[in-house]
Amino acid sequence: MYERILVAVDASPASERALQEAARLARVCNARLRVVHVADEVTLSAETSHAAEEFARKQLDAASAVLARAQQLAEQEGATVETRLLELDSLKGKIPELIVAQAGEWPADLVVMGTHGRRGLSHLLLGSVAEHVLRVSTTPLLLVRSS
């Protein structure tokens, strides 16, 4: 069925639920599971301040913590898991495009993502990473609602 399942996570309850579903599916299919998290890193000038460097380091530390937690949860579900930190220069790209590119490069048979299920004005204003991935991905996508 599936041999390679990619799951994109952030620190939200929706992505944790998606991770649990992806890990269970990976275990049942005896598939490899790759957990990715995107760290949004704005390009800074060559003369970056100490405060900017400290902020960037803290962002990467937080991103690494998200991946470590995801790996622990996936292993508790019995999945064989690897993690990847994807760094995005927000001036040059978008998170959904980076996820789709990673799915193609690995190559994944399935992408799993959480969705908050927003509707109306909040959806219009905030948009949806999962919805954008759905529009541009050629890899099958499983969306998991947070509740």
Confirm if 24 and 77 have CB atoms less than 8 A apart: yes
- Quick: pLDDT tens for 6-29: 999 998 999 999 999 999 999 999
Q: Where are the alpha helices (DSSP H) in the chain?
A: 13-29, 50-76, 95-105, 120-126, 129-136
- The residue range of the domain holding 101 is 4-145
Of 132 and 4, more confident: 4
Instruction: Give pTM, 2 decimals.
Output: 0.87
- CATH at residue 117: 3.40.50.620
Confidence of residue 55 (pLDDT cuts 50, 70, 90): confident
**Least confident among 18-22, 36-40, 93-97, 122-126:** 122-126
Q: Which of 143, 10, 146, 147 is nearest to 69 (CA)?
A: 10
Percent of all residues in the chain with a pLDDT value above 70, rounded to a whole number? 86
**pLDDT of 90 higher than 90:** no
User: Average pLDDT of 86-95?
Assistant: 81
Our count of domains for the chain comes to 1
- The first and second tokens of residue 137, run together, are 């991905």
